[in-house]
Each structure stands twice: as C-alpha cells, then as structure tokens.
Structure 1
Amino acid sequence: MSTEYTAARTSIRTALILTLFASLFTAAMALTYRYTKPAIDTAVAEVKRKLIAEVLAPESYDNALLDDVVTVLAPAELGIDEGSLVYRARKRGEPVALIVEARAPDGYGGGIDLIVAVGADGRLTGVRATAHKETPGLGDYVDPRKDPNKTRPWINQFVGRGLTGSDTSGWKVRKDGGDFDARAGATISARAVIAATARALAWADANQHRLFDAKTGERITAAANAGAKP
C-alpha cells in the first residue's frame, strides 16, 4: 500500500470524524436553543416590562403592550438607521401612549439609546437611557441607575413636558438659554439626550394617528415631523 494511499485514507477518515463531530455539535446546540428559548424570551420580556414600567404606569393601560408593536423604518428623527420599535399602550381600546425607541447620536461617549414615552395628549410620561458609554461619575447621570441623586434623578425632569406646536426652542440646557438643568462639567450628555427627546416627541406626536392605526407587527415608514431640530 503506497504512502500516498495511506495519507489519503487518513485525511478522509479525519474529515469524516470532524464532519460527524460538527453535526453532533450543531444538533446539540439546536436542541439547547429549542429548549432554552422560551425561558430566554420570558426573561427578555420581563426586563422590557420593568423598563417600560419606569416610563409608563402599568395601570394606565390594559392591552398586551409588548405584543402591540410596530417597526418604524429608519426615521431620521429617531436616530436609529436599522429601524425603531414603537409599542402602543391602550385602555379599553383607546390610545394611551406610544413608547418609542430613539437614539442620541452625539453623546460624549457616542450614541445614547433611549426609550421615550409619549402620552396621547402629546406630553411625555417618561424617558430612560437604555444603553450608553458616557463617562462614569460624570456624564452617566443621564441614566437614573447611575445618577447619585436618587430622590430627583436628572432624567425625571422630562415628565409632563410637551411641545407648543413645533417649537423646540426651550429644549436646551439652561446655559444655552433653554429650560433644562444639567450637571456642571457634563453638559454634552444632557444636550444630546434633550435634543434626541425633543425630536422623538415631535415625531411621535406628528405621527400618532398613523402609529396607532397600523397593524400589529407591521413595518412602516412614518413621515418626518415638521418641527425644527434642536
């Protein structure tokens, strides 16, 4: 038996063994995913519910909020190129609020992901930073979990705010002539969140009827708002 023939048989046997192990590993991973996915989905849903409860009181709506959702494709006002999820809160079938995913692209450490809850009356019921890279101990106060002031977190000053028409002139930090407080030495983070929130609020208010009327699970392209960007 030639050396070449022996080497070829060895290579084929090795390839077959590797293929078998790869197939078994893939099958094991598929089974693991199949049996753990429900638990993972439940855990993710619970995290979402807790986060949404921070911006919208659970007793204010009675629909299955996490299922009553549409995807909005790349509205510039929301800052998320891949598209934003918009959850619709209703009570006895009537619109209560929209919970909108948005992003402030110009934080000190980069993008700041937000959820912005806009009531049917056009006023904010809450805002939360969900992901960011702001400087620890300085600009990360935009996240209430990092804000040292636990009794009056900085981000709670958005609650109850609305717009007069498309006027966003007051949506700035006080040192820029606006209506919002900011922590000394860390105004870039505040500016980014304030501006992104104003854009999301104006956009959600302008598109409210279309968003509530869209079919659950629908992917839509909503019109831009007419307001000036702060």
Structure 2
Amino acid sequence: MKSQPIIKAGFLLFIFTAISIFFVSLAQQSMKERIKHNEEQLLIQRLGELVKNYDNNILEDKFSKEITLYGSKQTINIYPAKRNNQVFAYLVEHNYPNGYSGSIRLLTGIDSNNQLLGVRVIAHKETPGLGDKIETKKSNWIEQFKGLSLGNPTASQWKVKRDGGRFDAFTGATITPRAIVTATYQLLTYFSEHEIK
C-alpha cells in the first residue's frame, strides 16, 4: 500500500521531466535558428562593407573549398561578386587559428587583380578593450587593408611595426593585429599561387 504514493510520485516526476526536456529542446532549436539568422545578417552586412554594385545573389552563388591554409586543412567559403554575369571580386570567409584568444573568423575581399577590397572580422574571442579593436565598431584599424596587394607593401613590410613592418599594433595588444596581418598576407599568397575558383 505504501508503495502506491511512491509509484505515483515517480510517475509524476517522469512526466514532468519529459515535458521539461521537450520544452528545453524546443527552445534550443529556436535559439539555433535565431543564431544562424543573426550570423547570416552579420555576414550580409560585412559583404556589403567590402563590395558594392554586384548584381548576383552573392549568398546563393557561394561555393566552398577545402584547402590547406595557416598550416592546417580548413573549409573556406567563397562568395563571387558578379556584374553582368562576370566575376569581378571574391569574398573569402576563412578561419585564422592563432589569435590571442583562439580562432578569428575573417572575411577578405580580393578583386580580379589580386588587390584587397578589405578585411572584416566575423567572429573572434579577443580581449575586450584591447584585441577587439579589430572590429569596425571599435576602431578603423582594419580598414587600412583596402587597396593593398602582395607587392604593396613589399613582403618584408607585411608585419606589424614592432616586427619591422608597416602596420600599427594596439597598445598592449600586439598578437591580435599580428594575426590579422599574417592571415591577410598568407591568404593573398595562397590565391596568387592557386585558382580561387
């Protein structure tokens, strides 16, 4: 007789747990979709900062490549910008693994002459107040890459000033700027030696 209340309580606990799991997984799925939507909106914004006057659906025309970059294999996403059905620029989404606090997800624009349209950060974990100055909302530091190429500046100048190069670093944060400069130079070098397509 005494076991009936225990069985009833166990059954109610089971029902409550099952319902809780259902709602938690529902909320988690909803959050995943919202996060994906927010990431896509940020990507669209970054694409628009680097290239204008394209007439194709740049997101639908995206293609991916598996390449060895920065010493390891990674899948990069490439967004071709077209005008009158002719590609005039590529926007390359890639991951540089050696930031101060881990990987930095970048979007780099390269025109048909292998000249930089610019570089933008999509995601990072760099130190707030120091390394996060790579974001356009924090500083204009990252805008200095526009118009550069492998020959401008020379190979020896593709470094931060502390390493004898041309690029400024942030006070108290050299590793993050060094990472962006290195990532940009190595990506340009890769695509000077390989087809982007």
TM-score by structure 2 length? 0.77
Q: Cα–Cα, structure 1 residues 184 and 21, in superposed 2: closer, same or farther, change >3 Å?
A: closer
- How do 1:99-178 residues align onto structure 2 when only pairs under 5 Å count? 99-147=91-139, 153-164=140-151, 168-178=155-165
- Code of the aligned partner of 2:136: P
| Matched-pair contact (CA < 8 Å) for 2:68–2:74 | no
Q: Sequence identity of aligned pairs in percent? A: 33
Which structure has the highest strand share of the two? Answer: 2
Out of 67, 72, 89, the residue aligned to residue 97 of structure 1 is 89
Q: Deviations over 1:127-163 (max 9, x none)?
A: 011111111111211111222xxxxx00011000001
| Alpha-carbon offset, residue 205 of structure 1 | 3.6
Q: Secondary structure at the match of 2:127?
A: coil
1:200 matched to 2:193: no
- CA distance in structure 1 between the partners assigned to 2:34 and 2:127 by the alignment: 34
Matched, 1:187 2:174: yes
Q: Aligned partner of 2:155: which letter?
A: T
Amino acid at match of 1:159: K
Q: How far apart, CA to CA, are the structure 1 residues paired with 2:28 and 2:173?
A: 43
Correspondence for 1:67: 60
Identify unmatched segments of 5+ residues in structure 2: none
Residues 1:109 and 1:38: Cα distance change in structure 2 (over 3 Å)? closer
What does residue 221 of structure 1 align with?
none
Of 39, 47, 56, the match for 2:42? 47
Shift of 1:204: 2.8
Change (3 A) 1:39 1:102: closer
**2:151 aligned partner, one-letter code:** T
Does the CA-based 8 Å contact 1:100-1:200 persist in structure 2? no
Classify the secondary structure of the residue corresponding to 2:78. strand
- In 1, Cα distance between the equivalents of 2:37 and 2:102? 30
Aligned partner (choices 42, 51, 54) of residue 56 of structure 1 = 51
CA offsets 1:11-57 (integer angstroms, 9 cap, x no match): xx99x999999999999999999999999876654432212111212
Q: Which one has more relative contact order, counting CA pairs under 8 Å at least 6 apart? A: 1
How big is the alpha-carbon RMSD for the aligned residues of Structure 1 and Structure 2? 3.4
Q: Which runs of 4+ in 1 moved over 6 A?
A: 16-42
| Residue-by-residue CA offset, 1:60-97 (whole Å, 9 max, x unaligned) | x1111101111111x23267745111111111121211
Question: Structure 1 residues 18, 104: CA separation in 2 closer, same or farther (over 3 Å shift)?
Answer: same
Q: How many residues are treated as equivalent by the alignment?
A: 196
> Under a length normalisation based on structure 1, what TM-score does the superposition of the two structures give?
0.67
The offset of 1:173, in angstroms, is 0.9
Contact 2:43 2:122 in 1 (8 A): no
SS at match of 2:51: coil
